[in-house]
Structure 1
Amino acid sequence: MESLSRSAVICSISRTPQGPSPPNSLPSTSTFKPLLQRLKPLPLKVEVPEQLKAASLNLLDSIVETVFRFEKEPLFSTGNFAPVAEIGEAVQVSAIEGGIPEGFPQGIYLRNGMIHATYFSKDGEGNWNVSYKNKYVETESFLLEKNRNKKLFLPTITGDPSAVLASFYTNMVRCGQPVKFEANTSVFEHAGKLYAISEQNLPYEVDPSNLDTLKSWDVNGTWDRPFTSHPKRVPHTGELVIMGIAIQKPYYVLGVISADGTKMLHKVDLQFKTGVLVHELGVTENYNIIMDYPLEIRINRALAGTNQFLGSELKTTAVSISSIPSRMVMR
């Protein structure tokens, strides 16, 4: 497995399931003008026959399988960490040890990984019905591999630095994405909607009644970068504080989403000097708590043949506290 989330993150929903082109750099003389006029009508997109596409993909697959060698890590693929298959339709849970507490709410208990859902509902006589269902979040990466019925993405986190760098470029050529989008780290609810998320991409909205993947969430086009796996809700206002880290500028961007999930109220580049591996942030009623760690991410290290992740000896952990600018509208 390329990545693994070791902690179970839970989410509960207490309700019944339901411009103009830049100037040409060539001299614009009479010699070039007729040629440029002929080139302008040419389409930028060239249609490639399906047979040629398939042949190119098969050739690239052969190259990858020849050049790269995968090393198995049994710890991450056996026992409790073994892959889990989808079960299809929800199944009734008949073996229940103990009893459901008095006053326990009807609703859905959800957890991360592939999405696991346990449904609690009562019939007309007040008897409990408990059922279970699971399903993978159908990200672009998942659908790509599902359609080709094979693993396509090369690992980009651990391994030989030169192989990791080659994996980035190979994934781009082979899959159109540098890394695999898995949406398996966390689940959260905002404005009555359920989302699944992993740190390197946008959240995916999931229908809690059947676990179908609906669409990715970019807050109506206002967020175009990685989205933290653990957003925080502001007490009393219901606004959602998020962050996104990256390996290129801006390295850390903070955002505040409206309580109804339709608007980005505030978005600011915190002007970090380099990429850092930050997984969490804190939120109180009046303040954001921002963490800056010595663990840096620098792609130029991979270019130099060393690990892209490295703890800086020149930095110490810094914790910053700032007021929540939730009333400032992004311009």
Structure 2
Amino acid sequence: MRLTYILPSHSIIYFNNSIIYALVEETGHPVRIVDVKSEIPADFPVGVYIRNGPNPLFGGLKSTTSIFGHTSNTWIEGEGMLHALYFTKDDQQQWIISYNNEYVEIETFKLEKKRNKSCFLPAIEGDSPAVLATLLFNKERALRFSSLYAGLQKRKCMVQKECTKMEHRPKNAQKEVSIIK
């Protein structure tokens, strides 16, 4: 099946097996598919088909080389995007198909969007020492630049304060708290 839809900028996008993982921009709203090159079975259910997959925000870094060796990008690295195909029927029982997509906004996505550049190196394929060094580098970078680290530190302090409070409560109160848990 090959689906075609028209974006507001009038560019045409084709979906077929050869480019199913091509990078796409967020549409921002459902876009009606105007040309279906195959027939949808009559008993096909009305609903939505959702696919999740990678879609690097800035195209992703393709490879890196360091004193530890070489690492390269794979198709599973990068920010995640949800793609949705909506199948509905009009009053004449004709199919209406729309497409929408949206990035999954995790902390690293927010960081890269804020900085307007890719902040992490490819770290899945390559020479073992280079992959290990890159993973450590990416972890350190995420902890340093991300609000995730601040959130973890804040939670750690809250847990420590709560534990300290519990140590100073009467024994009956500690039992009540442990029962609630």
Q: TM-score, normalised by structure 1?
A: 0.27
Which has a greater percent of helix?
2
